[in-house]
């Protein structure tokens, strides 16, 4: 049966699928049939008699994992149990269920998400922005740096403060048996490092490991893989260095660039036939990415005859751009396109406002991808906190979130008193508020009114616990009536959407347990904590509006890439990695199957001012404009109306010129702000 599927592969794909032993790097360009190749490879491994339990396939989204699993199992006679195919973080979660006790931790931990993490960090931050500190903590963990090492390496007061908060944060989550997103990788690595017998056991169990989207891995993921391969070299990684665009999340492009140096004897197979993009689209994308020096040499070849020309449109401002795009999309829809066939992509989120306004004016259906994720909405998070309490009423973190939701006249000061008292007694908050022993002390401390409201809250939590003991179904049937969140939002003006979101959440939970009756609430709650943007995007309708980062892994018949101007795409700044910006451009262009529209604007109103910028250098590199964008070339003399660029203020127009030579002084309009600057501090943009 597997022969049929192998014969459907091209020679390079077949070679990759049938390479079984040793380290293997599959360089899979955009639209080259990557998923088909690696799912066939997995099916081939199983067809050889390799035990599914001895395989491990790691992805970055649940959606990708599910698709690959279903495809692979459709190619062969179903084994008695499926191979483990999941995200890195799901693997970490499963691993910790078995081994976290090695670190002296309970395996009843709760997984917290980004919002939870920010709230905890905020309690320890006095002056620094909590989001900045949260990001720094993630960087520390993904680079395997402990709080002690962070403090030792700190060479400024800010870094010392961040290291201090990191230490306090770690103590807090450990004491409360919480695990954050980064811990799902860091703690398994720590266990594998500190307990060689566990590393050996795990490596012997997973003898054939495959990793999808390898270009997106960070240092921690690489080190984790090395531990899992400690007894063998059967590691197959699949990715495309030209699509490495997540350095801001810690991804390290060197992992894929130098794979052969890290894993001795590695074989490399290139997938260079593109099955997605029309010929003209691919030619332009290839021309752009060829300007990068940090890449594996490869050239995608088109397999489709589509010869639709790539259209470049130049506009006076963002309003003209938005109107034209909206009318063009309306025309496409009238000609039979489905809204879901179309996407509008941009590098910088802020430029989307004009597009949304254009869509609204034409009454076009659209979905903004990458906004607030469903499970991050406040009302959903409140419901989740109540579910956590039904499992563990001593979960102080969840309790503090909902003790005053819906409002019960239990304010911040009261909650702080409860927390301080419980801490002083070395007991969980719920034990304090539910015990008759502490009633008198509690009433004197917080007042009679708050005391009575807290008692009502105790009854709610204990009621949820009893429903949970009966069955998950009983808990879900009585959940909303017990907590009254939906009822609360319906009583408020203009909050119907929150109530509808809760309805959607309740329905989705019930549906989940109908399909997965063997799972318990705790497993479900930890699973949704590690959902990705793509995983939640199952019900998109309308035209997709999104950043290029959000579009990774997707494809559309027609794509509009907007704001292709210097400063917007590529972005400008001291930390700009122009090669990663170029990879982003490559990803954007290769999302299009049939038609690609590109647009620039002479000026754009953004961040409260009007900016003027020349067309993106990528348009020149793609052969779409003739004149180069010369940034960085100093000019001896400037004239009125010259377009210039300043390192700090960005692009502007010269309004006035005084003196000449080295002392030439310019009055420049930077998006509505006029500044006088020496000519030597700016660059001419031609």
Q: Which positions are annotated as active-site residues?
A: 34-35, 212-213, 243, 591
In 152-266, which ranges are E strands? 178-179, 208-211, 235-239
Q: Which helix (H) or strand (E) holds 313?
A: strand 311-315
From residue 442, alpha-carbon distances to 429, 461, 471, 493 in Å are 11, 19, 33, 35
How far apart CA 509 and CA 518 sit, in angstroms, is: 14
Burial classification of residue 91, based on how many CB atoms lie within 10 Å of its CB (0-12 exposed, 13-18 middle, 19 or more buried): buried
How far apart CA 104 and CA 587 sit, in angstroms, is: 44
Q: How many CA atoms lie within 13 A of 130 on its CB side?
A: 14
Backbone angles phi, psi at 472, to 5 degrees: -60, -40
How far apart CA 385 and CA 400 sit, in angstroms, is: 9
Instruction: For residue 450, give the nearest of 508, 404, 398, 510 by alpha carbon.
Output: 404
Angle at 338 between CA 503 and CA 311, to 5 degrees: 130
Is there a cis peptide before residue 597, judged by omega within 30 degrees of 0? no
How far apart CA 353 and CA 351 sit, in angstroms, is: 6
How far apart CA 55 and CA 76 sit, in angstroms, is: 15
DSSP assignment of 100-113 equals GGGGT--TT-EE--
For the chain, report the end-to-end CA distance as a whole number of angstroms: 61
Q: What is residue 612's three-state secondary structure? A: strand
From residue 446, alpha-carbon distances to 122, 169, 413, 456 in Å are 25, 28, 9, 15
Backbone angles phi, psi at 288, to 5 degrees: -70, -50
Both tokens of residue 679? 């000519």
């Amino acid at each position: 049966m597997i022969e049929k599927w192998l014969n459907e592969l091209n020679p390079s794909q077949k070679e990759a699928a049938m390479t079984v032993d040793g380290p293997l790097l599959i360089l899979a360009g955009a639209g080259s049939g990557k998923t088909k190749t690696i799912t066939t490879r997995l099916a081939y491994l199983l067809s050889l008699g390799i035990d599914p339990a001895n395989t491990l396939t790691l992805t970055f989204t649940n959606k990708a994992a599910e698709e690959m699993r279903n495809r692979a199992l459709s190619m062969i006679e179903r084994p008695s149990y499926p191979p483990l195919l999941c995200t890195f973080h799901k693997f970490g979660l499963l691993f910790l269920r078995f081994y976290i006790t090695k670190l002296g931790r309970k395996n009843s931990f709760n997984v917290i998400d980004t919002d939870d993490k920010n709230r905890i960090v905020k309690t320890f931050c006095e002056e620094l922005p909590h989001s900045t500190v949260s990001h720094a903590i993630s960087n520390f963990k993904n680079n395997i740096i402990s709080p002690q090492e962070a403090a030792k390496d700190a060479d400024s007061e800010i870094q010392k403060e961040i290291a201090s908060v990191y230490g306090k944060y770690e103590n807090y989550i450990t004491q409360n048996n919480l695990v954050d997103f980064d811990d799902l990788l860091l703690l398994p690595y720590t266990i594998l490092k500190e307990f060689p017998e566990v590393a050996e056991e795990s490596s012997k169990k997973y003898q054939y490991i495959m990793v999808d989207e390898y270009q997106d891995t960070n240092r921690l993921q690489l080190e984790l893989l090395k531990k899992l391969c400690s007894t063998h070299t059967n590691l197959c990684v699949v990715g495309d260095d030209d699509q490495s665009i997540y350095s801001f999340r810690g991804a390290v492009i060197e992992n894929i660039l130098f794979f052969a140096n890290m894993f001795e004897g590695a074989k490399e197979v290139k997938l260079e036939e593109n099955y997605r993009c029309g010929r003209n689209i691919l030619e332009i994308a290839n021309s752009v990415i060829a300007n990068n020096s940090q890449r594996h040499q490869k050239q995608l070849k088109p397999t489709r005859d589509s010869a639709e020309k790539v259209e470049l449109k130049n506009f006076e401002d963002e309003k003209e751009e938005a109107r034209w795009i909206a009318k063009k999309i309306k025309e496409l829809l009238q000609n039979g396109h489905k809204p879901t066939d179309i996407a509008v992509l941009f590098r910088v989120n802020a430029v989307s406002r004009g597009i949304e306004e254009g869509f609204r004016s034409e009454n076009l259906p659209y979905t903004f991808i990458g906004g607030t994720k469903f499970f991050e909405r406040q009302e959903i998070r409140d419901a989740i906190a109540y579910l956590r309490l039904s499992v563990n009423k001593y979960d102080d973190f969840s309790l503090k979130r909902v003790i005053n939701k819906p409002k019960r006249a239990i304010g911040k000061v009261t909650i702080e008193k409860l927390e301080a008292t419980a801490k002083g007694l070395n007991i969980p908050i719920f034990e304090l508020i539910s015990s008759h022993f502490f009633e008198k002390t509690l009433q004197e401390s917080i007042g009679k009114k708050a005391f009575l409201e807290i008692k009502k809250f105790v009854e709610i939590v204990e009621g949820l616990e009893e429903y949970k003991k009966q069955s998950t179904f009983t808990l879900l049937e009585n959940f909303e009536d017990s907590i009254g969140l939906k009822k609360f939002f319906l009583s408020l003006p203009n909050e119907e959407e929150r109530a509808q979101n809760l309805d959607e959440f309740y329905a989705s939970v019930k549906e989940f347990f109908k399909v997965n009756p063997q799972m318990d609430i705790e497993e479900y709650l930890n699973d949704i904590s590690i959902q990705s943007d793509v995983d939640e995007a199952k019900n998109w309708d309308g035209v997709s509006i999104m950043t290029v980062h959000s579009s990774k892994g997707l494809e559309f018949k027609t794509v509009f890439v907007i704001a292709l101007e210097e400063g917007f795409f590529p972005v400008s700044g001291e930390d700009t990695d122009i090669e990663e910006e170029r990879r982003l451009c490559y990803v954007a262009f290769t999302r299009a199957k049939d038609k690609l529209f590109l647009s620039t604007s002479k000026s754009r109103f953004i961040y409260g001012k009007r900016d003027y910028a020349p067309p993106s250098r990528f348009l020149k590199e793609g052969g779409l404009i003739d004149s180069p964008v010369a940034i960085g070339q100093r000019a001896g003399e400037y004239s009125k109306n010259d377009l210039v660029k300043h390192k700090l203020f960005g692009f502007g127009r010269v309004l006035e010129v005084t003196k000449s030579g080295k002392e030439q002084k310019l009055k420049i309009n930077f998006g509505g702000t006029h500044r006088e600057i020496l000519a030597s501090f700016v660059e001419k943009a031609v």
